[in-house]
A and B are shown apart, each in its own frame.
With several copies, the nearest count.
Chain A
């Protein structure tokens, strides 16, 4: 089964997007719409630490998988750590084909922006873009 456009990892993340959803009592939120892609992120924190991270997204399988991967990896970390999130890294690890860099950069925007919204009101993210 060669030439599969999706890696095992992308397939697994896409198939089980456990972090898809919303958080009623989010400490921080962000919503971006750009180039047809839509991403919402919500974090619930205990102090600086992300307890729960949820996403919603409208886009291709790579974007959805990347969003799920982000949520999985940042729970338990400091919200400010999100500011260091890099599209380049996830492009490599999933991997994501080069022609989809644009939409992963939109995800990067959303993630970093969520990181910057530490300790602001739950709606703060909304006008990031």
Chain B
């Protein structure tokens, strides 16, 4: 953040900056000196643009362990989630009108499922345990003969809880039900090998993994029966699955981000883990503090904590200029306690005090220490201002 050395940014789950190497790949592609042509054009300039798209497709395919033709570029995970769920629901409408998902899903999945509910689909909303984890036997019991699709995210964007995609997917495959995974928070951060995983559809977005905003992808498995109806219709690009002029610089940037993520995954993971541990060590002794979400299934990039008897909005302001989130980024305008935390059984009081700290590659131990200090100071201050409860 320019001109504000005071700002400490611990909101990498909301968005990450583009890696300098990603910026270097993208920047030359915008202007008149670069390969700016429409990659669908047949001429020399068009073919050059297409080469960037092809390279990037290869890079993302390598990261995900899939084939290039199994990837469709979209504008982000929101669109990918919509394309996966609406597209599969429409394509397989004959099979039945039952979907399975969870109340802890990102709004892109939850809202589109609710929409389908209104349009005559039946949706089973499976509840996690109070650490946020879904027991596979609950999924097993929920699948019916008319179940079309199961949609369960990999890493939860609020709590960082990791679901057991392998186990859940195996159940779906056994019962011949499509399995969609919103992996916006995990792609490039946790290993994925889609060729060997029981996943049919997987959503991702570049800006959570040091790529640019405005570009995402949907993996659509090439196995028979796994097809989606397009959401957007037009010029036939991407085999009609998602037309529109391909955004070459963004795609190239996402490709480079995928390449970097793949080659540096282990060290990044270790880095996140140590930052998360450092932060928790610094605040865990505070009275009434609790982690939201399972410790044993925790993605190390996210630490979500609630604390007793502190008002969340005042806490957030008192933490400034520390940049952290309350609920998910997109919810942060609303005053309602997070539905994700409520699904974990948190009281409204605890849920409303939740703060999501999320760490990134640029996070330093110093920044974590500043966060610890600001959090402790803010808690002390607000508790000091608050009156005791009436007897």
Contacts and interface: CB of A to CB of B under 8 A. Distances in A.
B314 interface: yes
B48 interface: yes
* Interface of A: prevailing SS: mixed
Interface string B34-54: 000000001010011011001
A4 B47 contact: yes
A57 B384 CA distance: 9
A5 B42 contact: yes
Contact of B387 (A4, A39, A61, A99): A39
A61 B313 contact: yes
A72 interface: no
Contacts of B389: 33, 38
Contacts of A116: none
A44 interface: no
A36 B310 CA distance: 11
B141 interface: no
Interface string A7-50: 00001001001001000000000010100101110000000000
B54 A3 contact: yes
B387 A64 contact: no
A40 B390 CA distance: 10
Interface residues of B, number: 22
Nearest to A40: B387
Contact of A20 (B50, B313, B385): B385
A74 interface: no
B335 interface: yes
B385 A56 contact: yes
A17 B318 CA distance: 12
B327 to A, nearest CB: 15
A59 interface: yes
B355 to A, nearest CB: 15
Contacts of A6: 317
B309 interface: yes
A4 B335 CA distance: 15
Contact of A64 (B48, B54, B314, B335): B314
B311 to A, nearest CB: 6
Nearest to A68: B385
A20 B384 contact: yes
Contacts of A101: none
Contacts of A20: 384-385
Contact of B390 (A2, A4, A33): A33
B239 to A, nearest CB: 14
Interface in B358-390: 382, 384-387, 389-390
Interface in B24-74: 42, 44, 47-48, 50-51, 54
Contacts of B318: 14
Contacts of A31: 387, 390
A110 to B, nearest CB: 11
B311 A14 contact: no
Contacts of A126: 390
A6 B318 CA distance: 12
A88 interface: no
A60 interface: yes
A11 B317 CA distance: 9
A38 B317 contact: no
Given A6-B317, A31-B390, A61-B313, A17 B47 contact: no
Nearest to B51: A2
B386 A58 contact: yes
Given A1-B47, A1-B48, A31-B390, A57 B317 contact: no
A56 B386 CA distance: 5
Interface of B: 42, 44, 47-48, 50-51, 54, 309, 311, 313-314, 317-318, 335, 349, 382, 384-387, 389-390
Given A20-B385, A33-B390, 16 more contacts: A1-B44, A2-B50, A3-B50, A3-B51, A3-B54, A14-B314, A14-B317, A17-B385, A31-B387, A31-B390, A58-B309, A58-B386, A60-B313, A61-B313, A61-B317, A126-B390
9 contacts: A1-B51, A2-B50, A3-B47, A14-B318, A20-B384, A31-B387, A56-B385, A57-B386, A99-B335
